[in-house]
Amino acid sequence: MTSIQSPQQLGAALRAARKQLGLTQPQLALAAGVGVRFIVDLEAGKPTLRLENVMRVIDALGGEIQLSGLPSVAADDEREGDDHGA
C-alpha cells in the first residue's frame, strides 16, 4: 500500500501505476472516461481536481482508496450523514 499525503504524491503514484501497466495518458483517459488534460493535471499534482474523476482514474488503474487512522463508518451511517455539511 502507498501512503499519500499530498496531491503531488498522489499524482506520482498514479503516474507510476499507469506506466507499470504500460498505458499512455490518452489510453488511461479513455479507460477512465476523463480528458487527457485531466490526467496531465492529476499526474502533476494539481490540488483542485474533481474527486469523482480522480476516483474514476484510480478505478481504471485497478486501485482503490483506503483510509487509515479514521474511525470506521458503517454503510447506514454514511447514508444518514449525507447532508453535505448542512
Record the pTM: 0.80
Domain 1-86 has CATH 1.20.1740.10: no
User: In this predicted model, what pLDDT tens digit does every residue of 18-71 receive, in sequence order?
Assistant: 999 999 999 999 999 999 999 999 999 999 999 999 999 999 999 999 888 889
| The pLDDT of residue 79 is above 70 | no
Buried b or exposed e, range 28-64, using 16+ CB within 10 angstroms: bbebbebeeebbebbbebeeebeeebbebbbebbeee
What pLDDT shows up at residue 2? 78
Q: How far is CA 71 from CA 4, 5, 67, 68, 79, in A?
A: 18, 18, 9, 8, 16
